Structures are given as structure tokens and as C-alpha cells.
Amino acid sequence: MTVWGYMRVSTTAQDVDAQRRALLAAGVDTAHLVDDHVSGTKASRPGLDRLLGDLQAGDVLTVWKLDRLGRSVSNLVDLVNDLERRNVQLRSLTEGLDTTTPSGKLMFHVMAALAEFERDLIRERTAAGLEAARAAGKVLGRQSQVTREQYRLIKTMATQGSPQRTIAATCGVPRATVGRIIRGEVPSLAARYDDDITDDELPVTTGAA
């Protein structure tokens, strides 16, 4: 069994000295201390990523405070669940969380229940917001950068039988985008641009295949 210690600060201007002293006092060996100088919101934390790969069954991961480890409650719960599946324990010195003890396991399960409750609320609010937007006739999804003129020119050239590669070169858009527009896979563009503009307003110039 190895007792590991993980430390994190948000910037290179900060130091981990206080965390190091606390972890050493808790019995973590200097050789088993790992640190990151990166914001907790970042998905990738090189030190933690390597440490998670090195942890073995029976090991204990120790942190000074839980917010050093997880980006959010949900992220922390997912991480600890993964540790539990691998038979790796977690200790947080500030919160007194220690999954090697029955009370620590209970505390974690309460956290997990709250995190699941939070996820359910987010899903419900998101679904309600989307439904309200659809009812109001709003077009959902990321707005395309294709202009009105490009969209209508693509539709016109496709109707005239021009190859997609020619349409893409003429309109200055990726060939994949041309295909999606022709197949009607970009409903947000249709909602924005399928209006009463006539084709003679467009500078239609079809090249040879």
C-alpha cells in the first residue's frame, strides 16, 4: 500500500508549501507527493492524470482539501467512484473525509446523492428551457457562419446539377457543409434563409464540372 499526496494551486505564481506541510504531517512520504500548477476548471491536469494512472489497489490518495482534486461536485464524485472501483481510498484532511472508515464512506455517499440531485435538476431545467424555446419557435443549436448569399447560391447550383466540389469552390465553404445544406441537415439555415429572396438577386456563376 502506498499513501500518495496530491497538491494543486491555480497559477505558477502560487506555491504548494502549505499543502506540502499538511500532507507530510499526515504521513505522506516526500517521494509520493504530486503537484499541479493549473486552474481547477481545466479538464487536463498533468500531475493528477499521471497519478491516477499510477495508483494501485490498496493505495490511499490524500489531499489537503477536496477542491484541490475535483473541478465540481459531480466531477469529484465521478473520480471517487472510479477510485472505489479500483479499491483506492481517499482522504481529505480539511473536510475530514476518509473512505477507509465507515463514517467517511457514509459522508461520501451523501455527497454522491447530492451530486446526482444536482445533475437531475440541471437536466430538468435544460429540458424545460429547450421545450420553451421550441414552443416559441426559436431555432436551437450553434449558429452557422454560412451567409444568406452562400446558402441561396448553394441551393441554386445544386438545383442546376452542379457537383458539390464545384459548389464548394464557388461559394467558399467546405464541401461537407455543402452536402449538409443540400440534404437539409442544417435546419437553422433553412429557418433563417428560406424566405422570399429571388434567385435573380444572386450572382450565380456555375463552373464546369
Which of 203, 168, 6 minimizes the C-alpha distance to 90?
6
Which of 187, 178, 80, 75 minimizes the C-alpha distance to 141?
187
- CA angle, corner 84, sides to 80 and 89, nearest 5? 80
Instruction: Give the span between the Cα atoms of 166 and 113, in whole angstroms.
Output: 56
144 is catalytic: no
Helix axes 73-85, 102-135, angle to 10 degrees: 130
Catalytic residue among 10, 39, 72, 103: 10
Which residues belong to the active site? 10
